[in-house]
Amino acid sequence: MIMSEPIENRYEFVLLFDVENGNPNGDPDMGNMPRVDPQTGHGIVTDVCLKRKIRDYVDLVKSSVPGYGIYVQSGVVLNEQHKKAYDYLGIEPSAKKPKDDRLTRFMCDNFFDIRTFGAVMTTEVNCGQVRGPVQLNFGRSIDPIFQQEITITRQAVANERDSEKGQTMGKKQVVPYALYRTEGYISAHLAQKTTRFSEEDLELFWEGLVNMFEHDHSASRGKLSARKLIVFKHDTALGCCQSHLLFDKIKVDRTSGDLPPRSFGDYRVTIDKNVPAGVEVIEKL
């Protein structure tokens, strides 16, 4: 397939999202309680969690479009994904490092998440590895969160020995409210050198960040919403300044005083648009 030209500009971005009466990212080591920094009490959402939601959104809207397959999916055997490249090129599968980049190139051209986030494909069926141009930091709550475990009842039982009880008990782990901030980077250098992540891919990525929670609702996740997406676009591939200087331009302050925050309205977001020359500030949301 013919892919578009790779992006030519470096980007950084800040995404603000919140949760209301839900669990944005459970920790399996802590009984699925919401992830938390034990030293500060701030909530955490991993980059893997956010990438999963972006993958699911892209799969939802582009599942039938060539070049927008999703490499990492539930129940998918990765070696079978790799074999598609060998079959296309008429090569016998091998565990050895590929002698040329045709196998890796096929995987980049046909899987959106490899083109975006990169992948390590050095399993028994080896397609090499590639470093993706898009990277996300962990999401971290603006304030310490309150982890709450709520007892719930079910008016049914699972087996006959519990039939006399009439109902069974369970637990639900939630955060009453929290606003999270995550930061990310998009490298034009890596897009051009490795995956050929394109302008079309970039627009789909922004769309995924804004809409990834809209088709992922569940009883356990509660009300998850993307609130703000601020993008910094450099006018060159290598960029005009260090990323942290731009991230510091976004300030989030609480306006609810001593009361615990319970809505996005309890915060004030300030964007300092006095940025270094060559950088454009774009509010996507």
The confidence score (pLDDT) of residue 128 equals 92
The confidence score (pLDDT) of residue 162 equals 67
The confidence score (pLDDT) of residue 171 equals 80
pTM for the structure as a whole: 0.91
Angle in degrees, CA 48, 224, 264, rounded to 5 = 120
pLDDT mean by block of 10 residues, the chain; 285 residues: 81 98 93 94 97 96 93 92 94 88 94 96 93 97 92 74 69 92 97 94 97 90 95 96 96 91 96 96 94
The confidence score (pLDDT) of residue 160 equals 72
Residue ranges per domain, the chain? 11-283
CB atoms within 10 A of CB 147: 18
The confidence score (pLDDT) of residue 74 equals 87
The confidence score (pLDDT) of residue 165 equals 67
The confidence score (pLDDT) of residue 151 equals 81
Q: How far apart are CA 22 and CA 150, in angstroms?
A: 11
